[in-house]
Structure 1
């Protein structure tokens, strides 16, 4: 855990998110060195959501949003589209 990856202007740090006893796999999502979202991997077989991802918490433009995603790739694309734009150069 804790390694950082970068995709399309976003970077990610793996983390254990304390939503259940023992925690869940998650990603901290950064844009320009600012934390913009916390994603958790859902491990709920009873609700047919195992392996899906959830926007646990968003900041800035994502504040108050909660959303399920079928894959981490879908979640990353959505976060990238809904955060503040890159500054014009």
Structure 2
């Protein structure tokens, strides 16, 4: 499954570097932000700010890199959960 990532600034109050994630049909499926230095061991990780449809999660996960988050998104979209 093809995903498209588009860099964006997100007004979260602290971390602004983000990514919009679109599916193969160019539908917005997620908004990610990269965690900053104030998150100690998670600095540089990616955080799911918002997931839509089957990507909506009560406990928004964090991911070590963009490859990991894309794999998680592909798995969830394939399951339709």
SS at match of 1:57: strand
**1:24 aligns to 2:16 (yes or no):** yes
> If the length of structure 1 is used for normalisation, what is the TM-score?
0.75
Structure 2: which 5+ runs fail to align?
A: none
CA distance in 2, matches of 1:68, 1:46: 11
> If the length of structure 2 is used for normalisation, what is the TM-score?
0.82
Q: Which protein has greater RCO, CA pairs closer than 8 Å, 6+ apart?
A: 2
Note closer, same or farther for the CA distance 1:46–1:36 as it changes in structure 2 (3 Å cut).
Answer: closer
Cα shift at 1:30: 0.3
Match of 1:79 among 65, 69, 73: 73
Divergent runs of 4+, >6 A: none
**Greater share of strand:** 1
Rg (Cα) greater in structure: 1
**What is the alpha-carbon root mean square deviation over aligned residues?**
1.8
